[in-house]
With several copies, the nearest count.
Chain A
């Protein structure tokens, strides 16, 4: 009899504060497993954002810094420039990364900063009680788009992966989802690949993970996965948007 699945050592043995069924938990696990499997836990320094995952510093089993809202990529830059041999990653929500922190993530990519980012897009501001995010879908109701997001007023949701892929410094950009076991497995692969890119010294890597917020969407967890599948994936197509290592391979 073989254990085919058990709790990763990449997470501390504590229970998280996340709401029941919130896929932040899954994404934490994938991130932690990647750290563990790549053997970098003891030289990893993670950066937690401001958002529901603000307490990530209590969960990942490695050194952690808690950054100001949106500034995780800048903080990670500071860390990486001081300790280029350590493994540095940020874990950020869509309010954090795609709204207030836009300049910081764009310029970390622009500098080809050799860090990795796990970007959790749940189309809402979870922590503050469900306000509209730049990634909130057209028509989606939130506490600051009470009648549903009106693209004529607030624009069409921003596609971060596509945008960052246009920046010369970005080495690896992929969008994944955690709505099904199969997609979770793919997500894990992408995160691990992104981390390897850093270990290979190739530069900036980011994985956008489509995620749920059952609480603020007001949808039961299993249905929230369905909602993600049916509403988010069509607008936010899954796939790789940039992989410099492959481009280089083709170049040869």
Chain B
């Protein structure tokens, strides 16, 4: 069974939910079984946001990603502290190293440090740092096809915001590239 179970977590405003939804939607375009479960607890007022995404070929039973995540995108320190333990051995951990100085504490997982905020800054828009992470994520997991992510994003942006596609695409590719390098190096 091919199953990608991802936790995405960070501050509110970092686009964590959007990332999760694009991923889910892309999976759906590919005819896979998908689910997206956001947290909506009171901690949201404190500013953290996280969600769990499942993409697999088999029907999804439990939509809860907890303790059995195959991958994680972590955008801030509190989330790293909270969720690192939920990865299975061999799972893939993508860390926004622009904001998180700390390194992963486990050695039985694959870790990628993506300075996504810096890259986004370079591109001229800090808001696309989530797309940088998503690109990196697709690169290392191959969970879905990049084109389907773009397709999902296109739908999401609509005609009004279609002009934003380019920078998002760029961000995504920079993320892929960054991850690819670490992979070769690592």
Contact = CB atoms under 8 A, between A and B. Distances in A.
A166 interface: no
Interface in B22-47: 42, 45-46
Interface in A1-42: 17, 19
Interface size class of B (residues with CB under 8 A): under 10
Interface string B80-105: 00000000000000000000000000
A interface majority secondary structure? loop
Interface size class of A (residues with CB under 8 A): under 10
A168 to B, nearest CB: 33
A176 B46 CA distance: 29
Contacts of B45: 17, 19
A140 B1 CA distance: 50
Nearest to A127: B45
Interface string B41-81: 01001100000000000000000000000000000000000
A19 B13 CA distance: 14
Contacts of B42: 17
A19 B46 CA distance: 8
B43 to A, nearest CB: 10
B88 to A, nearest CB: 34
A14 to B, nearest CB: 14
A203 B42 CA distance: 37
B113 to A, nearest CB: 30
Nearest to A17: B45
A19 B45 CA distance: 7
B48 to A, nearest CB: 13
Nearest to B40: A129
B12 to A, nearest CB: 10
A168 B46 CA distance: 38
Interface string A62-100: 000000000000000000000000000000000000000
Interface of A: 17, 19
Interface of B: 42, 45-46
4 contacts: A17-B42, A17-B45, A17-B46, A19-B45
